[in-house]
Amino acid sequence: MASNAVSDAHGRAPGPPGPHIARGGPGTAPVAVTGGGSGPGPGTQPGKYVSPSVAGAAKILVVGPLGVGKTTLIGTVSEIKPLSTEAMMTQAGARYDTLVESGKTTTTVALDFGRITIDGALVLYLFGTPGQQRFLPAWRDLARGALGALALVDTRDLASSFDALGNLEELGLPFAVAVNTFPGSPRYPEGELRAALDLLPGTPLVECDARETRSSVRALIALLGHLIDSAPPAPAGARGLPLTERT
């Protein structure tokens, strides 16, 4: 699958997602989340890494091509100040990172990191991957221990997402796809998008605005629902996802 550059993740028009893509997927019942944005959320106690009510945690990747909105989404939902490894894009890298010409000035060179608590009991640790295919070795390191991935795509350049989706399939990591909305981006019926992205019938396809907390959380919940549905049968006496238990 070929990899192409996409346009910058900023400047999207506000407004609700269109009705033609399923929103939220499985498990979209209202949930309590702590915070969102750059500071600790209301459920986070000062001086505490996680709330005492948290019983489990899961590592989740946020993937996609350059400029699709991974850094924005993690910064939007994170209840802690997110870690970002943004670096200036230079002319030396222009032949690899064509967004230099479109106004994008920085790019993730290692990872983004954020945290969100769901229902006061489950913590998601979000790891954003670099968008360029040349950082694939970093992908493999970040994917270790991950339960699943949220793949962001841009309908203005669907082909640029092929490498990211192919990497997830190669790693055998279950994922959901979120179409990040941009101003003027074309909208397609769900069936056409699924065909263009070559998605399996059970792969969730949702629409979100990476700048908007509720929209971004719905995308993460769609992924969690998919992980629950696709998880292997639990041993006798065990329930739910194979999460990392707190000690």
Please report, in tens digits, the pLDDT of each residue of the chain (247 residues total). Answer: 333 322 233 333 333 333 223 333 333 344 455 544 444 443 444 435 778 888 899 999 999 998 899 999 999 999 998 876 554 544 434 444 454 445 545 544 458 899 999 988 999 999 998 866 666 677 788 899 999 999 999 999 999 999 999 999 999 999 999 999 988 889 999 999 999 999 999 999 999 999 999 999 999 999 999 999 988 876 666 555 555 544 3
Hey, how many other C-beta atoms are within 10 angstroms of the C-beta on 238? 9
Cβ contacts of 118 within 8 Å, gap of 6 or more: 31, 32, 33, 124, 220, 221, 224
Q: What pLDDT, on a 0 to 100 scale, did the predictor assign at position 196?
A: 96
Does the CA dihedral 76-81-85-86 come out positive or negative? positive
3-state secondary structure of 60: strand
The residue written with tokens 């893509």 in the block is 21
Q: What pLDDT, on a 0 to 100 scale, did the predictor assign at position 132?
A: 66
The C-alpha atoms of residue 134 and residue 198 are separated, in whole angstroms, by 23
Q: What pLDDT, on a 0 to 100 scale, did the predictor assign at position 142?
A: 87
User: Residue 179: exposed, middle, or buried by beta-carbon count in 10 A (0-12, 13-18, 19+)?
Assistant: buried
The answer to pTM > 0.95 is no
The C-alpha atoms of residue 170 and residue 63 are separated, in whole angstroms, by 14
Structure tokens at 71: 């850094």
User: What's the Cα-to-Cα distance from 224 to each of 14, 26, 34, 107, rounded to whole Å?
Assistant: 25, 8, 17, 28
Q: What pLDDT, on a 0 to 100 scale, did the predictor assign at position 63?
A: 95
Listed residue (96, 94, 83, 98) closest to 8, CA to CA: 98
Hey, how many other C-beta atoms are within 10 angstroms of the C-beta on 176? 24
Q: What pLDDT, on a 0 to 100 scale, did the predictor assign at position 83?
A: 79
Q: What pLDDT, on a 0 to 100 scale, did the predictor assign at position 6?
A: 25
Residues in the chain: 247
User: Residue 241: exposed, middle, or buried by beta-carbon count in 10 A (0-12, 13-18, 19+)?
Assistant: middle
The C-alpha atoms of residue 21 and residue 167 are separated, in whole angstroms, by 24
